[in-house]
Amino acid sequence: MLNWTELSVFIVLFALVTVLGFVAARWRRGDLNQLNEWGLAGRRFGTLVTWFLLGGDLYTAYTFVAVPALVYASGAIGFFALPYTIIVYPFIFVVMPRLWAVCRKHHYITVSDFVRGRHGSGGLALAVAFTGILATMPYIALQLVGIQVVLGAMGLQGDLPLIIAFLILAAYTYFSGLRAPAMIALVKDAIIYITIIVAIIAIPIYISHTQGNGSGILNGYQTMFAKVPSAKLLLSPKSFTVYATLALGSALALFMYPHSITGVLSSNSGRAIKRNAALLPAYSFLLGLIALLGFMALVVGVKPVKPFGAQYAVPGLFNTVFTGSSNWFAGFGFAAIAIGALVPAAVMSIASANLFTRNILREYFMPNMTDKQEASAAKLVSLLVKVGALAFIIFLPLQQAINFQLLGGVWILQTLPAVVFGLYTRWFHRWALLIGWAVGMILGTYMSYLQSNAVNPHFASSTYSLHLFGQVIPGYAAFYAVIVNIAIAVVLSAIFNFIPALKGKDETQAADYVEEEVPVAVAIG
């Protein structure tokens, strides 16, 4: 049954960001027939815009839905997302300014451009581009899942509402490029912060009233934690290595995703990136509050709803708590989740389009294409990427889309040696890195394939129980695979480096990795 109050608030906010998406084409105007302008916004974003854009990239609708869902279904293991975001910020501070500097110097648009230039290997660059696109497609699909869940919570059934939302997203991404998600991110984050602040105050009061333990916020939290089963509230010793490897592996993988790197390369300076590494932990605080919504849903008594299962935890929680005169706020929260899908989905499609156009289409099929043709091709590919993501949702069971996204994390981590090691040393051999990548991809996929449960015969989880020296060590399959990947790259590099003929040409120099000092102040906007 349609809830018209929720739906009305949702439509108004969705219409607002749609208008912003089209208006963004005129914001910090540039020639959108140039890929650098359409796909990287001319590298003009300062600290503030980059903060919102990266926050929009990393804290998505799927984060809003999936992290509480994991806490709701599995308990404390879901909180691995907090240390993983904390670990990633020093990584950004140290590594990403070097990538930005060399890409700015050589006009690289994608990370595959850098890999090709640094290692002199078209094959390795193709592998990185292919992996990036492959890992991103199901990630975009799961942003659409976030929209689908909240549409279902408001009573909108079927695929048509989702298709309409997709068409709107596709249209303003095509016309405005990266400027659209950057502008929408400003509104999106404000709405999400308001939603969470209200939720963490109002829902504990609701819990306190319904459980008969007073009427205060603190009483509500006390009641909540008292009613969460201890098995979900605390990690079991068997989960320690899973928790640790998930946190570390996910942190290393996060900024290998094309959309994260696109956000970095759109900055106007290395200083802006470093400032963001210092400011982004504010989102980690927000993430911790979001995760608590899973426990709240459990205590309030939200039940899984087909076909969404545990993904329904937050929408169900909002529909349970915000009723009557506060019903409009559920629509506000649902709009926050849906808008939280638009920003990353747009950036992901742009990043994938940049990779395909620069490192596959231009490299292997149309080497003489003009800059205008390149930008036009990227716009078209961004549409096709979204169509593919939409097909994931419409034609595959929801759980399959989730499984593919889990695999995406396993795959993207295998590009780390070629990218991160390449920023610091040329010692690693291009063929060793390519072979290590291939083995890591196969091994990580196989480890995930072996995982099963009653619902999914394969790919049910991204964790793997490693049997080593008589011990069973469960952990993140991506983490185990990248260790093997690195070991192979080290051993084979030591061998291949004795064969000078196999060494690729490096078009970069040491000075390219350090940002030039600029006497004028860097813009923050």
Q: What is the pLDDT of residue 420?
A: 97
Q: What are the chain's domains? A: 8-513 (1.20.1730.10)
Choose the weakest-confidence range: 126-135, 137-146, 391-400, 407-416.
391-400
Residue 97, token pair as written in the block: 């300014």
pLDDT at 307: 77
The confidence score (pLDDT) of residue 331 equals: 92
Average pLDDT over residues 287-291: 90
**398-403 average pLDDT score:** 70
DSSP 415: G
Strand ranges (DSSP E) for 344-497?
A: 463-468, 471-476
Q: List Cβ neighbours of 121 (8 Å cut-off, separation of 6 or more).
A: 115, 430, 431, 433, 434, 504
Lowest-confidence range among 116-125, 163-172, 326-335?
163-172
Residues 489-511, mean pLDDT to the nearest whole number: 90
Rounded to 5 degrees, what are φ and ψ at 380?
-65, -45
Q: How confident is the model at residue 214 (pLDDT cuts 50, 70, 90)?
A: low
* DSSP letter for each residue of 120-148: --HHHHHHHHHHHHHHHHHHHHHHHHHHH
DSSP, res 155 = T
Nearest to 183, CA basis, from 173, 192, 171:
173
Check pLDDT > 90 for residue 397: no
Q: How many CB atoms lie within 10 A of CB 449?
A: 15
Residue 521's pLDDT is 46
Read off the pLDDT band of 216 (50, 70, 90).
Answer: confident
* CB distance 419 to 128 below 8 Å: yes
Q: Ranked by mean pLDDT, which of 147-156, 169-178, 487-496 comes out on top?
A: 487-496
CB neighbours of residue 505 within 10 Å: 9
Tokens of 400: 């399959």
**Which residues, in sequence order, are bridge partners of residue 305?**
309
Q: What is the pTM of this model?
A: 0.92
In degrees and rounded to multiples of 5, residue 85 shows phi and psi of -70, -30
CB–CB of 65/314 below 8 Å?
Answer: yes
The arithmetic mean of pLDDT across residues 255-264, rounded, is 94
At 76-103, the pLDDT tens digits run: 998 988 898 889 999 999 999 999 999 9
Q: Let me know if 495 is exposed, middle or buried by CB neighbors in 10 A (0-12, 13-18, 19+).
A: exposed
Which of 30-39, 205-214, 222-231 is least confident? 205-214
pLDDT for 453 equals 66
Span 355-366, average pLDDT: 95
Helix, strand or coil, per DSSP, at residue 327: helix
Alpha-carbon distance 40 to 45, whole Å?
Answer: 9
What average pLDDT is seen over the chain?
89
